[in-house]
């Protein structure tokens, strides 16, 4: 049985509560992001996906996280500015979250428990694909680039369903 993430509330990067139920009917790509990581250049590919697929129903949700190598030390304001200036990021960014340990955000508790395979996120830029019903349908390690055929074909499949 697939469990939805729609009942979870998150904070936007400017501190407003946002229910993930607002995204029902959209395909989501949820990514834990960081400004000082070997994978930080994936912001460019994520923004390209955003530009290509947003009008078709894809929403990319970026969750800054400092849990891996302290690679996201900035404030929300600094993170938003960095993403905008360096990568022209136009997709939704959220409040910095903890995704490991006892202070793990409820979204990541659900993602890491319900995704296949289950288990903790291992590094920045790990991606979770969520269908239009809010169910987790894919999990992609950090090394899977936003433009990889594996990820793009999964996005196409979910947008078509």
CATH number at residue 18: 3.40.30.10
pTM > 0.95: yes or no: yes
The answer as to whether 3 is a domain residue is no
Give the residue numbers spanning the domain of 54: 9-160
The answer as to whether 90 is a domain residue is yes
> In the numeric block, which tokens belong to residue 74?
């900035």
Which among 144, 13, 134, 145 is positioned nearest to 83, based on CA atoms?
13
**The pLDDT value given to residue 64:** 98
pLDDT digits 0-9 by tens, 27-54 = 999 999 999 999 999 999 999 999 999 9
Which among 130, 58, 57, 124 is positioned nearest to 97, based on CA atoms?
124
Cite the beta strand spans of 1-151 per DSSP E.
Answer: 9-11, 17-19, 27-33, 58-64, 92-93, 127-130, 136-140
Quick one: what percent of the chain has pLDDT higher than 90?
98
The answer as to whether 4 is a domain residue is no
Phi-psi region of 33 (alpha: psi -120 to 50; beta: other; left: phi over 0): beta
The answer as to whether 151 is a domain residue is yes
Q: What is the mean pLDDT of residues 57-80?
A: 97
Residue of 13, 37, 49, 121 with catalytic role: 37
- Whole-angstrom Cα Rg for the chain: 14
Judge whether 37 counts as a catalytic residue: yes
Is the pLDDT confidence value at 1 over 70?
A: no
Q: What is the mean pLDDT of residues 129-150?
A: 97
Question: How many folded domains does the chain comprise?
Answer: 1
The answer as to whether 65 is a domain residue is yes
CB of 4 within 8 A of CB of 22? no
Q: What is the mean pLDDT of residues 69-90?
A: 96
């Amino acid at each position: 049985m697939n469990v939805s993430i729609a009942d979870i509330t998150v904070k936007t990067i400017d501190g407003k509560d946002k229910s993930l139920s607002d995204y029902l009917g959209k395909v989501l790509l949820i990514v834990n992001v960081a400004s000082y990581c070997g994978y930080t250049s994936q912001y460019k590919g994520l923004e390209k996906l955003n530009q290509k697929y947003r009008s078709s129903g894809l929403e990319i949700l970026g969750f800054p996280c400092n849990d891996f190598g302290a690679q996201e030390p900035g404030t929300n304001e600094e993170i938003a500015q960095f993403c905008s200036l360096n990568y022209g990021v136009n997709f939704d960014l959220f409040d910095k979250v903890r995704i490991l340990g006892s202070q793990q955000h409820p979204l990541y508790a659900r993602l890491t428990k319900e995704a296949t395979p289950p288990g903790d996120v291992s590094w920045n830029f790990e991606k979770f694909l969520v269908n239009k019903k809010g169910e987790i349908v894919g999990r992609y390690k950090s090394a899977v680039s936003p433009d990889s055929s594996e990820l793009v074909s999964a996005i196409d499949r979910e947008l078509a369903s």
